[in-house]
């Protein structure tokens, strides 16, 4: 099977359940927006922003370390046992600390009267962190049906419970609707997923080893720094707004920003699915002579696909927003729609950064990758502190775009030094530029209704024709089966 078809197949097998899950969670935010005001929705947005940081620390890079060391060592069961034990211990310690200091934590995050939020989230994070390792095992063993079944079960449970608790339960119990039930639904779904993962976990567990763990942790600990810095870049905007904006408007701003931010997650969902398939794929290709050419090809197709997603979503952002967000309070903010194309482009560059990151992962240079993310985090914090109080969340969106672009540039320059790959920079830049120019044209044509949709469809066709012609020219340069 040729390399592009193989990667596309892997993306479909392992990515589709994740795409569906992320997409449904993406839709759930708009479902919540129909029942809660921006202020009432703010806790859900803030807590999941905090959760992103802990989900980096708790697995402490062991998922990537598992793939890397299973490639190098024949006894994958021992590698798996070592990784799962390490994550399990950290998760239990974390859960104990959260329950012990739950009152203090609730006060710190600004919800002293909602301690139960902290309790539920402690359990959710501990379970989700631990099950990341058995999910990695299923990907390693190429068990797509099992992977898809368990993921899908969790999705169905989460959605069903959310609908029950938000729509029907308040009427049955005679109580007010509460965002707390969103957390309870997530916890139940995560626990059931873990229960179904246990048989594979037990069956494939070998003998854990402290010496192996030290090797794995030496590789993985920079990934913690990289991940934390990455989470600063990705989520610190929502956390910081509670402190940088006036108290009387902060919750409203967070609610609107977090909800419209989700529109850009159409790009994020694609990137997540790609990463599920690409990480084991990249490690599998690493020792082949043609690996560098393969990585270059993958980048070409990735940029073509993600630029198409940018163009489609940006052209139809208003229609998508009004379809998904039915509460007019969210649309009243003047900058709500403006952030969507900015964040789409930002996430496109984040995807490019993930593609480039292969150079430090396969060459045990994860510490350098951490330094790159730290630079991004410093820029993020500085720009947010300076500009959010002045320009509001529009500054947060622009900051995200600037930071991800800077990280791409730094990673490319360092990658060419430590693991040079001949990427097609001119053509990649041209593809992104074409998508942006076509968006600009569509945005500034003064027509409405069916004519507007027809023009947008024509612009998408133009992009597809030009993009495919560029990709076809690149294929002729490379002597590899595509």
230 touches 350 (CB < 8 A):
no
By CB atoms closer than 10 A (0-12, 13-18, 19+), residue 411 is buried
How confident is the model at residue 3, as a pLDDT? 60
For 7-40, what is each residue's pLDDT tens digit? Answer: 666 555 655 666 666 666 666 666 776 777 766 7
- Which of the four pLDDT bands, split at 50, 70 and 90, describes residue 482? very low
User: What's the mean pLDDT in 67-80?
Assistant: 78
Catalogue the long-range contacts made by 9-12 (C-beta closer than 8 Å, 24 or more residues apart).
Answer: 10/276, 10/277, 10/278, 10/280, 10/281, 11/273, 11/274, 11/276, 11/277, 11/278
What's the whole-number mean pLDDT along residues 286-298?
Answer: 82
Structure tokens at 116: 């139960």
Cα–Cα distance, 410 to 406 (Å, whole number): 6
Q: Given this model, what pLDDT does residue 114 score? A: 77
Cβ atoms < 10 Å from Cβ of 191:
15
Mean pLDDT of 191-215: 88
> Tokens 């507007």 identify what position?
452
> Of 426, 448, 446, 429, which Cα lies nearest the Cα of 437?
429
pTM of the model as a whole: 0.70
Half-sphere exposure of 98 (CA within 13 A, CB side): 22
Q: 130 falls in which pLDDT band (50, 70, 90)?
A: very high
pLDDT at 303: 94
Q: Identify the three-state secondary structure at position 332.
A: coil
Per-residue tokens: 193:
């997923």
Least reliable range by pLDDT among 143-152, 160-169, 383-392: 143-152
Distance CA(266)–CA(254), nearest Å, equals: 20
pLDDT greater than 60 at residue 236: yes
By three-state DSSP, how is residue 98 classified?
A: helix
Distance (Å, whole) CA 73 – CA 312: 44
Contacts of 466 (CB under 8 A, 6+ apart): 434
Give the DSSP per-residue string, 402-450.
Answer: HHHHHHHHHHHHHHHHHS-----HHHHHHHHHHHHHHHHHHHT----TH
């Amino acid at each position: 099977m040729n390399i592009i078809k193989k990667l596309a197949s892997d993306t479909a097998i392992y990515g589709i359940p994740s795409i569906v899950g992320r997409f449904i969670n993406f839709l759930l935010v708009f479902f919540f927006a129909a029942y809660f005001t921006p202020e009432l929705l703010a806790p859900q947005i803030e807590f999941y922003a905090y959760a992103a940081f802990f989900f980096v620390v708790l697995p402490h890079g062991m998922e990537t370390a598992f793939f890397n060391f299973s490639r190098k060592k024949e006894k994958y069961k021992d590698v798996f046992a070592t990784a799962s034990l390490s994550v399990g211990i950290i998760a239990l310690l974390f859960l104990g600390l959260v329950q012990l200091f739950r009152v203090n934590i609730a006060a710190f995050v600004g919800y002293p009267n909602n301690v139960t939020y902290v309790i539920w989230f402690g359990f959710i994070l501990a379970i989700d962190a631990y099950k990341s390792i058995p999910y990695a095992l299923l990907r390693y063993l190429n068990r797509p049906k099992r992977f898809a079944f368990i993921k899908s079960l969790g999705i169905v449970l989460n959605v069903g419970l959310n609908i029950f608790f938000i729509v029907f339960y308040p009427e049955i119990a005679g109580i007010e609707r509460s965002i707390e039930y969103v957390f309870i639904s997530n916890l139940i779904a995560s626990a059931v997923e873990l229960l179904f993962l246990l048989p594979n976990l037990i069956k494939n567990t070998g003998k854990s080893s402290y010496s192996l763990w030290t090797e794995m942790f030496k590789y993985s600990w920079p990934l913690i720094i990289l991940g934390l810095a990455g989470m600063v870049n990705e989520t610190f905007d929502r956390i910081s707004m509670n402190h940088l904006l006036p108290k009387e408007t902060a919750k409203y701003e967070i609610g609107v920003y977090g909800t419209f931010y989700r529109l850009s997650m159409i790009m994020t969902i694609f990137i997540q699915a790609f990463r599920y398939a690409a990480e084991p794929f990249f490690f599998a290709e690493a020792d082949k002579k043609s690996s560098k050419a393969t990585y270059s090809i993958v980048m070409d197709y990735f940029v073509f696909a993600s630029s198409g997603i940018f163009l489609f979503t940006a052209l139809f952002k208003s229609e998508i927003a009004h379809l998904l967000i039915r509460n007019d309070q969210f649309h009243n903010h003047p900058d709500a729609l403006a952030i969507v194309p900015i964040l789409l482009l930002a996430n496109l560059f984040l995807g490019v950064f993930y593609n480039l990151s292969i150079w430090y992962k396969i060459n045990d240079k994860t510490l350098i990758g951490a330094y790159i993310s730290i630079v991004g985090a410093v820029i993020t914090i500085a720009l947010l502190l300076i500009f959010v109080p002045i320009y509001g969340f529009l500054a947060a969106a622009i900051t995200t775009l600037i930071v991800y672009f800077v990280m791409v540039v730094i990673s490319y320059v360092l990658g060419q030094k430590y693991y040079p790959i001949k990427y097609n920079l001119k053509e990649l830049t041209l593809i992104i530029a074409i998508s942006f120019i076509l968006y600009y044209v569509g945005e500034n044509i003064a027509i409405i209704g069916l004519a507007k949709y027809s023009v947008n469809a024509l612009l998408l066709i133009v992009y597809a024709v030009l993009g495919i012609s560029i990709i076809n020219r690149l294929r002729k340069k490379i002597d590899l089966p595509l």
